[in-house]
Amino acid sequence: MDRRPMFLAALLAVSIVVTTLAVPTLVSARPAYEIPVTNVDNGATLDAVDGERWDQAPSAGVSLSSSGAAVPGGDNSTIDEVRVASARTDERLYIRLSWDDPTRDTSADNVRQFADAVAIQVPVNESARPPIAMGSTDNQVNVWYWSGLNDSQELLAGGPGTTTTLDDRNLESDATYRDGRWQVVLSRPLDGAGDNRTSFSAEQDVDAAVAVWNGSDMERSGAKATSEWHYLALGPGPQGPPYEMILWLVAGLGIVFTTLVTIEGVRRTRGE
């Protein structure tokens, strides 16, 4: 009996198993719309954009497009991607956002000057996804907002034009502009500590969306670049490389099974 087909099938099976184990460690692909969250023992250096612990935190590229709002410039935003990384301790959530911007706009001294800015919004009720445009009256959002005026605020919104500033200042920020790129860190206690504030836990992922304003392009208010809903991967999964590995393994087994069936069919056709 010609053993070559069986040898080739075995070689293919071994190759698929090796690929299944090796490829997920070589690529950085993640489930679509995931923003990875790194768990750390303490937040030392995470409150600074250049903190050493950020070197160990993977980031995700979040695509942006014009908001399309019915305001001047609503269809002409200029920032098309922001990179987002996140880390958490037992007490606090940190989010670092960075994006290319050839101009550093930090002034609003006259009516035609606007500062660069960034914001990330999360649902007040983390178990329900609100409308992407600043939530709704019965499904509100918290907004963590930073502007080049060196100002950061935690906001509450229940739809376009309803933004209000929350009273206390639990939100902290740090920012730098270097080599044509902004980096901004925002952080807040996990516990919302009151009504109308999102509480974060290790039990559940939380939806998140990002907006960026380019001041030199006169972007302000509804004229901005926005993302679709993504999610902060706070929960236990499935997510990340283990999830990818399962998919690779299932696909590999399918290929092996198909190959073996094909070989057996050829053998029977030949009367072997």
Per-residue confidence (pLDDT) for residue 130, from 0 to 100: 95
pLDDT of residue 24: 55
Q: Which residues have C-beta within 8 Å of that of residue 188, sequence separation ≥ 6? A: 92, 93, 144, 154, 170, 171, 172
- Residues forming a β-bridge with 32: none
CA distance 45 to 47: 5
Q: pLDDT 10s digit of each residue in the chain, 272 long?
A: 556 666 666 676 666 666 666 655 555 567 889 999 999 998 889 999 999 999 989 999 999 999 888 777 778 899 999 999 999 999 999 999 999 999 999 998 888 899 999 999 999 998 889 999 999 999 999 999 999 998 899 999 999 889 999 987 889 999 999 999 999 999 999 998 778 899 999 889 999 999 999 999 999 988 999 999 999 999 887 554 455 556 666 666 676 677 777 777 777 777 76
Q: What's the confidence (pLDDT) of residue 262?
A: 75
Q: Give the per-residue pLDDT at 186.
A: 98
- Taking the alpha carbons of 227, 230, 232, 233 in that order, is the dihedral positive or negative? negative
Residue 58 has a CB neighbour count (10 Å cut-off) of 14
Q: Residue 42: its pLDDT value, please?
A: 86
Residue 240: per-residue pLDDT:
47
CA dihedral 194, 47, 235, 137 (to 10 degrees): 40
Q: Both tokens of residue 167?
A: 């009273």
- Whole-prediction pTM value? 0.78
| Partners of 175 in beta bridges | 184
Residue 260 CB-density burial (10 A; 0-12 exposed, 13-18 middle, 19+ buried): middle
Distance of CA 246 to the CA centre of its chain: 22
Tell me the two tokens of residue 249: 């393994």
Residue 31, pLDDT score: 83
pLDDT at residue number 241: 46
pLDDT at 69: 80
